[in-house]
Amino acid sequence: MLTLDRNDKDPIYFQIYRQFKEQIISGELKTGERLPATRALCQEYHLSRNTVLYAYQQLESEGFISSKVGSGFYVEEIPEFSHENDRVPVFFSSEKKEALTYDFRYGALEPNIYKTSAFRRSLKEAMNELESKVNLANDEPSGLYGLREAISEYLLQARDMHVRPEQILITGGHHYSISLLQKILPEDIDTLYMEEPGHEDSFSTFLEEGFHIVSIPVDENGMRVEKIVSRNKAIAYVTPSHQFPLGAILPIGRRLSLLKWAKASRSYIIEDDYDASLRYKEQPIPSLFSLDRNQSVIYLGSFSKTLSPDLRISYIVLPADLDLHSFSGLISSPVSVLMQLTVEKYIRSGQYKRTIARIRNLLRKKHNKIISFFKECYGDTISLYGIGGGTHFVISLPVNMKQEEIIAFFAERDIAVYPTKNYYLQKEIAPEGLILIGYGGIPLEKLDDHLLHLKDAIDELIQTKTA
């Protein structure tokens, strides 16, 4: 609880900072306790977002709190003032689960970019360039201009997007991008329209910040845009080129309808283009951003599916009318200068385009092999979602079991498959038999063996657990 006085000689942000600091020192706010979401605090006390953020950043810089991307701000342990009995349990267990032999994990990528001579050459060139610099201070909070310029040139060629480097922010992964957007988006927006099912990380992060989430169902053509009926300013979060996790492509009619809604309501659309380069039948689908004529679309891109997930380099492309200068104090790219410079050189050398083509060809072989496997073994008995692109499928198993029981059944047979229930905001409507299998990290030469073991387990499951 805060007591704020607008007539006080101290600015409001300093009053927030001071009162939270006193509550932490006194033990009223305990180690590990989460501070109120910035958006919720803004609404409760009628404050601007920047006012609250400046207070939180001051507390963080002094070590009283720490931020967890996608989660919020938490009280740090202050040894001289903290009380041992007040400490909360550790949030994350250090116990490492034993890996299963046949792992269909989503998000992994088999080709090791660090083994390629071209990437190592770009890394060496970047190191040599940095070695000659006198001052290594990172004075480009939005990311290295050269990398942003290289990305803008690539997006023009690959996604038909006409953007300036000044519209691009280099970020440290998907979580970071979403958290950063919440600092940049207009303060009067508090409603998010989200695909259901959709990205769990995205809706959970917005929920943590106090947004009202409205789930919009998807069908074989992606988000059912006609279900967005409100004309109030809001955000729509969409994966139009490859709906996650079910794989639909949003058709042009729905895309134009979504853009029309955004224009009429002065809303923004977040286009998550997480794996648009990985199409195996047709050319990559044009971006929604490329169709926008009203500065409504915010574009999220990533190198996770085309270079390596562990690079954790993503980027945001903002509409030209969003003024980044007013947020300059809140933005600081977490990606090292060395890695940014390496990726810039790798793109400019032409090797990045070749890498995408090589990865696409490899994944196409896996994709086609899995489709043939299910068609030959099960015909129409098992439905397969996500055909045509990406690094995963969703399969619908014809069994009368809870999703958790299905996952456990496979795990007992040394096979890791993954639930889809966590992608639903309304867990009660999630189909129990929908299971996700990823194939990006499985070597092609081992895929047959993985599929044979998967088949044995599916056959046993259907035989013993069918309704």
Q: Which domains does the chain have, with CATH numbers?
A: 12-86 (1.10.10.10), 102-112+360-465 (3.90.1150.10), 116-352 (3.40.640.10)
| pLDDT of the residue at 327 | 64
Helix (H, G, I), strand (E, B) or coil at 396: strand
Count the Cβ atoms, other than its own, within 10 Å of residue 2: 15
Q: Which among 80, 77, 63 is positioned nearest to 31, based on CA atoms?
A: 77
- Evaluated on CA atoms 148, 153, 155, 158, the torsion sign reads negative
Q: Which among 28, 80, 32, 36 is positioned nearest to 55, based on CA atoms?
A: 36
pLDDT single digits (tens) 148-157: 999 999 999 9
How far apart CA 154 and CA 353 sit, in angstroms, is: 9
Is residue 89 reached through a cis peptide bond, with omega within 30 degrees of 0 on the bond before it?
Answer: no
Over its C-alpha atoms, the chain yields an Rg (Å, rounded) of: 24
| pLDDT of the residue at 228 | 95
* 8 Å CB contact between 313 and 170: yes
How far apart CA 146 and CA 389 sit, in angstroms, is: 30
| pLDDT of the residue at 1 | 72
| pLDDT of the residue at 69 | 65
pTM for the full predicted model: 0.81
Burial 257-272 (b: 16+ CB within 10 A, else e): ebbebbeebebbbbbb
* 8 Å CB contact between 53 and 38: yes
Helix (H, G, I), strand (E, B) or coil at 180: helix
Q: Which among 291, 39, 344 is positioned nearest to 170, based on CA atoms?
A: 344
| pLDDT of the residue at 84 | 46
Residues of the chain whose pLDDT is less than 70? 61, 69-70, 79-97, 134-139, 323-330, 465-467
Is residue 11 reached through a cis peptide bond, with omega within 30 degrees of 0 on the bond before it?
Answer: no
Residue type, 340: Q
